[in-house]
Amino acid sequence: MGIIFFGLAFLAVGSGMDTIFRLRMGRLGHNWVFLRGGTFNYKEYHQVRTANGWPAWPVYLMWALYTCGIALLIAGFFIQIGTHPPGH
């Protein structure tokens, strides 16, 4: 159960970071950043980050948190459900 909790926590932190990036881009005049969903272009963020003094590493950390969160959720579900099949 703890693995599932950490997976959800990693995804929540990654989503929070994504929201921060979208807010930053919205303040620069990029409209509709929240309505673009998964098509948000992080390449645009990287192009304007140097002019605004933003570091690059938080974007890479966000993607690592997403990847680890999904992996932990999958592992947690397999551990939770795979070791105790229904009906046994």
Could you tell me the residue range of the domain that residue 49 belongs to? 2-82
Sole residue written with tokens 């309505």: 35
Cα separation, 12 vs 75, in Å, equals 17
Residue 17's pLDDT is what? Answer: 93
Examine residue 37 and state whether it is found in any structural domain, yes or no: yes
Domain for residue 87, yes or no? no
Enter the DSSP assignment of 56: S
pTM: 0.80
For the chain, residues with pLDDT lower than 50 are none
Give pLDDT, residue 87: 64
Rounded to an integer, what distance in angstroms lies between the CA atom of residue 62 and that of residue 16? Answer: 9
Tally of domains in the chain: 1
Residue 21: its pLDDT value, please?
Answer: 85
* 88 falls within a domain: no
Residues in the chain: 88
70 alpha-carbon distance from chain centroid: 10
The verdict on residue 78 lying in a domain is: yes
What single letter denotes the amino acid at residue 47?
Answer: Q
Residue 38 pLDDT: 60
Position 48 scores a pLDDT of: 85
